[in-house]
Chain A
């Protein structure tokens, strides 16, 4: 392709590397671990429960809702799961007024509970 030279493509490559560097630095200031090269740094056992209108969704319904497993092991960060849930419930699922509870244990430590919306 005419004009597809060395320098513009290389500049794009450098820009992409700088974007990744920014995401690695960003990871130091947030809890989630996306695009920061943190694979298998935590072994978190988690379980998600979603209640809409007084009815608890089944495991399959929860899996379909977030396109992510509703129970099992998460090896990046449990905050990746929490971010997905927060983002879904504040966008696509806003009208459902869902009550979401995630029970999780990081690296075998005592369990913690996260809820959305937060419990009073």
Chain B
């Protein structure tokens, strides 16, 4: 049921007609896309992929202005929780029309934004984001098929050329001192192809989403670290944000119990990051624990509790996004920002990975939307 006071609150994802995690994904995608500046380049059709779109060209660039309006209105709807599903459809459709309409502007990292936003708008409020899941399956099936049919991927020739002549990647250069370059490139090529085939297969079944997500993190996270912060436009952000759709979001607001005074800095920070959560001092002073929360039947404490609370706090993601944007604005897109990004990514992956270790025995168990898991 819609809660009117979430309207106008960009950091709230509850109380709308969308699943909280899909809405969070959509908000972050809108921000990532807007940050990239691509929306300002939306224009009338030019060399459209579908030639009939050329009929939309005009002296006044009305089609282009229409795309701008669609995107801005849709973005406002998504961010301010005013009919966010319609907002997703508007922003997604604007991006997709632009991509189909202006061939020179085609970029996979822009196309995936449009796809995920549009499909988020097509989703009802169901626990299984199966449209998003099939989108991921399609992405990796297409990517794997393209690679498997190219001899230069089997021989490693593409990666050798890309990582030595085009980039060139310091990680590859250093690693190839230990392993012959072509052999290293061949191993990386085969790993990528195997991973993409595995992902295409896993995303086809909702019971295999958990291992699929970890393969995505390994593949793209590894690429991000190895290439020292190369984001391929904003493809890395798009994929990682898209994974939020697969979080088993709690059906009820989080109950978080802290130790110490109610207005401690820590309690206020948790409430800021997750205004819908109930945060109150209930951990006894004599207890060794400093934080508790309950997810379904699981009682979590301390580090595991903190990771869970952060994972289900929309503000956590907005803070990460804002921090990254601020750093980029201050430092530019040079090496310092890239090294810092890689360091933060490694810390985040190392911090959150252990939160899911206890769930490994649940690999392959049936999806149970009524039991929100720790993360996935």
Contact = CB atoms under 8 A, between A and B. Distances in A.
A91 B54 contact: yes
A76 B150 CA distance: 13
A31 interface: no
A20 B115 contact: yes
Interface in A1-48: 1, 4, 6, 9-10, 12-14, 16-17, 20-21, 24, 27-28, 33-43, 45
B103 A43 contact: no
B106 A34 contact: yes
B235 interface: yes
A48 B103 CA distance: 17
Contact of A67 (B46, B54, B150, B161): B46
A79 interface: no
A42 B161 CA distance: 9
A68 interface: yes
Given A4-B86, A37-B108, A10 B146 contact: no
A14 B152 CA distance: 34
Interface residues of A, number: 44
Contacts of A4: 85-86
Which secondary structure characterizes the binding site on chain A? loop
- Give the one of B100, B108, B134, B235 with max A CB within 10 A: B108
A67 B43 CA distance: 12
A13 B117 CA distance: 11
Interface residues of B, number: 51
B272 to A, nearest CB: 33
Contacts of A17: 119, 131, 134-135, 138
B139 interface: yes
B122 A43 contact: no
A13 B118 contact: yes
A10 B122 CA distance: 5
Interface of B: 46-47, 49, 51, 54, 83, 85-86, 89, 99-100, 102-106, 108-109, 111, 115, 118-119, 121-124, 131, 134-135, 138-143, 145-147, 149-150, 152-153, 157-158, 160-162, 165-166, 232, 235
Interface of A: 1, 4, 6, 9-10, 12-14, 16-17, 20-21, 24, 27-28, 33-43, 45, 66-68, 73, 75-76, 80, 83-84, 87-88, 91-92, 106-109
Given A39-B108, A80-B103, 9 more contacts: A9-B89, A10-B123, A17-B119, A35-B99, A39-B109, A41-B147, A107-B158, A107-B162, A108-B161
